Amino acid sequence: MAKDGTYRGGRRVRAGDKPAPAAEKINSGHKARIMNNDVPEFDYDELEAVDLPEGAVLEGADMPKPDEYLSAKQKNGHPLGADIIYKETWLWLKERRCENLVNKRLIESYAQAFARYIQCEDAISAFGLLGKHPTTGGVVTSPFVQMSQQYQKTANLIWYEIFDVVKQNCTEDFEGNPNDTMERLLRARKGI
């Protein structure tokens, strides 16, 4: 680093190849680092422990319950429906054994953003693409169009975070992305 605080020379930040997914590394015979509690990352000496009394019997919950705001009734009287998207996403993660690697709040944020996107698309279908300017009375683009694009962008960014965790840590080959519209369109065209 130079005196003025700028970097001079050397390797550029984020330069080079992107890391390969864990499944590809394993299939090609390379060593892959997988985040789980079964394989220790370092050698350690066994510690002596004291026998503890019997603990409480705990029952495991399969899926964390989505928060209430994901199914709250909207102004039109219908529920938001983000709880359904939350459950679908969590089950998709569980099929790939990555449900413990993604934060519950991240899944909730994705579900809410995607539900709001659907809500805006419903409003566009109901009210149309054009609206009336409040002061001039002229024709303007419906505000639901821009909101829809923003919610879709937000949902996609959050989904890419979730999908990246799965891609980097899933040890099995998997096909498909439940939210990839283009993939569904191409499969439908092929007749798969």
pLDDT in tens, 72-121: 888 888 888 899 999 999 998 888 888 888 989 999 999 999 999 999 99
> For the chain, which residues make up each domain, given as ranges?
81-192
Residue pLDDT, tens place only, 9-34? 777 777 788 888 888 888 888 888 77
Cα(115)–Cα(121) distance, integer angstroms: 10
Instruction: Return the SS3 of 43.
Output: coil
pLDDT of residue 148: 94
Of 35, 34, 39, nearest to 24 by C-alpha is 34
The answer to whether residues 163 and 21 touch, using CB atoms and an 8 Å cutoff, is no
Distance CA 76, CA 149 (A): 22
Q: Which residues contact 144 (CB under 8 A, 6 or more apart)?
A: 120, 123, 124, 127
What count of other Cβ atoms lies within 10 Å of the Cβ of residue 16? 7
Q: List strand residue ranges (DSSP E) for the chain, in order.
A: 130-132, 139-141
Instruction: For the beta carbon of residue 115, count every other beta carbon within 10 angstroms.
Output: 23
